[in-house]
Amino acid sequence: MTVTTYRSSVQGHLRDRLLDAAQAQIEARGWSSVTMSRIADVVGVSRQTVYNELGTKRQLAEHLAMRELGRFLDVVRDRMAAEPDLVDGVTAACEGVLELGERSLLVRTIVGSVPGEHDPDLISILTVESGEIIETAKVAVAACIVDGGHDLPLTERELDVAVESVVRLVLSAITRPSKLPAEAAADIGWILALALRGAQHGAERGARG
């Protein structure tokens, strides 16, 4: 291991410890109780070290959201890999993600469904400023489709649009839930199936013409 690699490993371990401390504070006393000083005390470092690693409290929330996204994408990969049919796989993945969203204290804190916790800056992480989350999720879902060897009647551009649409629909269902996870997932799967059938029909008509 090189010196640079070792230093990066140590720094990554420190960041994980800081995020773990912040997560524990959220679980124990809510987001409003989280401070850089408390995180520093728990981990045994200076407050400046916390700021150096995580930035502002808002940036801390972004770090936590991206780490939580990793858990959600693990569900996506497992569910899609278990289904040979793409629509079935996407539907199952959406249901799993929405179920996890209901259980995730961090997500519930961000969307303001935890009593006493409602911060406009937090909800913006999953809504108007969700670009990094959407892009990361798109890459993961697209990789699942490629790994599954699905033969789709879509151009690369059309696939990108379809994947982004699915990701945005799931994110919307997480932030503003109006149906049970299974029902919302079935709706998203239905929309995807319609899009694929339409694309297939267009491709066949083009081949005949």
pLDDT digits 0-9 by tens, 47-59 = 999 999 999 988 9
pLDDT above 60 for 8 = no
Rounded mean pLDDT, 146-163:
90
pLDDT above 60 for 157 = yes
Which secondary structure element, helix H or strand E, spans residue 38, and what is its range?
helix 36-43
Rounded mean pLDDT, 87-115:
88
* Owner of token pair 């629509």: 87
CA distance 120 to 116: 13
Say what angle helices 156-175 and 181-208 make with each other, to 10 degrees.
Answer: 160
pLDDT score for 9: 53
pLDDT score for 7: 46
pLDDT above 90 for 166 = yes
DSSP code string of 57-95: HHHHHHHHHHHHHHHHHHHHHHHHHT-SSHHHHHHHHHH
Token pair for 199: 């694309």
pTM of full prediction above 0.75: yes
pLDDT score for 190: 97
